[in-house]
Amino acid sequence: MKIGYLGAGTWGVCLASLLVGNGHKVKLWDRDKNHLNNLKMKRKHPKLPEHVIPQELEIIFEIEELFDGVDIVVESVTSNGIRVALEKMLLHKQPLCPFVITSKGLEQETGMLFPEIAKEIFTDKNKHLIGCISGPSHAEEVVKKMPTSLVCSAYSKQMMILLGEIFNNEYFRVYPNSDILGVSFGAAMKNIIAIACGISDGLGYGDNSKAALITRGLHEIRKLSVVKNADPLTLNGLSGLGDLCVTCLSKLSRNYRFGTLIAKGYNMQDAQNEIGMVVEGIYSCVSALQLARKNSIPIPISEAVYNILFDHMSPRDAVRSLLSRPIKEEHF
């Protein structure tokens, strides 16, 4: 297939390269033209030094050219960029073709998941063209062809089948799941809990503390998921628990590393500069708390992360606040 790829971060370069390896003709675009020029000249991403970008992967500098003649569009942009990307596609690609979301997050203020934004822009009659892939997947491992399992989801069965056909190969396994909102919600919320785990490790706490954060964090995600008409059981799978584990336990996770820096006394901007990539958990934290307060659903771990990042609460005070909450019977 002819594929247009929006976003040349680590995940974008990783998946665009994978799609080329699967035999597809891929064009890659990013709004940062200097970055694109470096990719084209060096065939290397600075954050993926061991990966050589295939010569067959075409680097495109104009977004209009990206949409020209493609059968499908895949995105890996930020939460701030996805609405703009969709609007650009609506402007330059008629009739619309299938659109695949690989980014993870919640939109600021609206609290909308990315498939909801796509459906709003494309309109309900075109929702069958919208799909996503998500799950535990570090670009640094996928480019080395390490075995990886994810889920794909869509508003239509035909779109899910298409996603399996274009992404599956001998090391990259994609399972279909029809709950697109549940898949997307787990992907967005896990970044907040990863920041909490990074803070915990940065404070010198141990595995007991981190296990509690992951488990209770998953409980928070399940509780809030029903607000988005998601199936809480979806959160037990790859796009929920699986993604939560890989993001909370790995030093490859930018959200986890961001949390460790915050615990060491970095402010938000300095910590992000140190990471050198967008930390989506910051924005998801704001959106999740807005959503939770609007629906009167307590999410204490996410609120503690918010208080540390935006209200300047010390991490240790946030931990004391969590541990002083009334104890209730555990239930799911």
> What is the per-residue pLDDT for 332?
65
Q: Is 246 left (phi over 0), alpha (psi -120 to 50) or beta?
A: alpha
Residue 8 lies in a domain: yes
With vertex at residue 214, the alpha carbon angle to CA 204 and CA 270, rounded to the nearest 5 degrees, is: 55
Looking at the DSSP bridge assignments, the partners of residue 72 are: 3
pLDDT band at 108 (very low <50, low <70, confident <90, very high): confident
Average pLDDT of span 175-194: 95
Domain end point (choices 162, 179, 196): 179
Per-residue pLDDT tens over the stretch 59-77: 999 999 999 999 999 999 9
Residue 210 lies in a domain: yes
Residue 332 lies in a domain: no
**Which residues lie below 8 Å from residue 23, measured CB to CB, with a gap of 6+?**
none
Q: Are residues 186 and 165 in the same domain?
A: no
Q: Are residues 125 and 186 in the same domain?
A: no
Per-residue pLDDT tens over the stretch 113-142: 999 999 999 999 999 999 999 999 999 999
What does the alpha-carbon distance between residue 288 and residue 300 come to, in Å, rounded to a whole number?
11
Q: Are residues 195 and 137 in the same domain?
A: no
Residue 165 lies in a domain: yes
> What is the per-residue pLDDT for 328?
82
Per-residue pLDDT tens over the stretch 2-60: 999 999 999 999 999 999 999 999 999 999 999 999 999 999 999 999 999 999 999 99
The CATH number covering residue 143 comes to 3.40.50.720
Strand order in the sheet with 148-154: 58-60, 25-29, 2-6, 72-75, 99-101, 130-134, 148-154, 172-176
Q: Are residues 139 and 224 in the same domain?
A: no
Residue 328 lies in a domain: no
B/e letters for 99-130, b = 16+ CB within 10 Å, e = fewer, are bbbbbbbbbeeebbbbbbbbbebbeeebbebb
* Annotation says 228 is catalytic: no
Quick one: what percent of the chain has pLDDT higher than 90? 91
Q: Are residues 174 and 185 in the same domain?
A: no
Domain of residue 128 covers 2-179
**Which residues lie below 8 Å from residue 216, measured CB to CB, with a gap of 6+?**
301
> What is the per-residue pLDDT for 323?
87
Q: Are residues 187 and 302 in the same domain?
A: yes
**Which residues lie below 8 Å from residue 91, measured CB to CB, with a gap of 6+?**
none
Domain end point (choices 135, 154, 179): 179
Q: What is the mean pLDDT of the chain?
A: 95
Domain end point (choices 126, 156, 179): 179
Residue 329 lies in a domain: no
Which tokens in the block code for residue 260? 């460790």
With vertex at residue 55, the alpha carbon angle to CA 52 and CA 59, rounded to the nearest 5 degrees, is: 100
Q: Are residues 144 and 206 in the same domain?
A: no
Catalytic one among 33, 190, 251, 294?
A: 190
Q: Are residues 72 and 104 in the same domain?
A: yes
- In the predicted structure, residue 330 carries a pLDDT above the cut 80: no
**Burial class of residue 28 (count of CB atoms within 10 Å of its CB; 0-12, 13-18, 19+):** buried
What does the alpha-carbon distance between residue 212 and residue 289 come to, in Å, rounded to a whole number?
20
Residue 330 lies in a domain: no
What does the alpha-carbon distance between residue 319 and residue 321 come to, in Å, rounded to a whole number?
5
Per-residue pLDDT tens over the stretch 273-319: 999 888 989 999 999 999 999 999 999 999 999 999 999 999 999 99
Per-residue pLDDT tens over the stretch 144-166: 999 999 999 999 999 999 999 99
Q: Are residues 51 and 196 in the same domain?
A: no
- For the whole model, what pTM was predicted? 0.94
What does the alpha-carbon distance between residue 328 and residue 110 come to, in Å, rounded to a whole number?
31
What does the alpha-carbon distance between residue 186 and residue 204 come to, in Å, rounded to a whole number?
27
Residue 331 lies in a domain: no
Beta carbons of 207 and 320 less than 8 angstroms apart: no
Counting every residue written for the chain, the total comes to 332
Beta carbons of 73 and 98 less than 8 angstroms apart: yes
What does the alpha-carbon distance between residue 89 and residue 330 come to, in Å, rounded to a whole number?
46
Among 275, 215, 283, CA closest to 251: 275
Average pLDDT of span 77-82: 88
**Burial class of residue 156 (count of CB atoms within 10 Å of its CB; 0-12, 13-18, 19+):** middle
Q: Are residues 216 and 133 in the same domain?
A: no
- The number of domains in the chain is 2
Q: Are residues 236 and 152 in the same domain?
A: no
Q: Are residues 71 and 159 in the same domain?
A: yes
The CATH number covering residue 230 comes to 1.10.1040.10
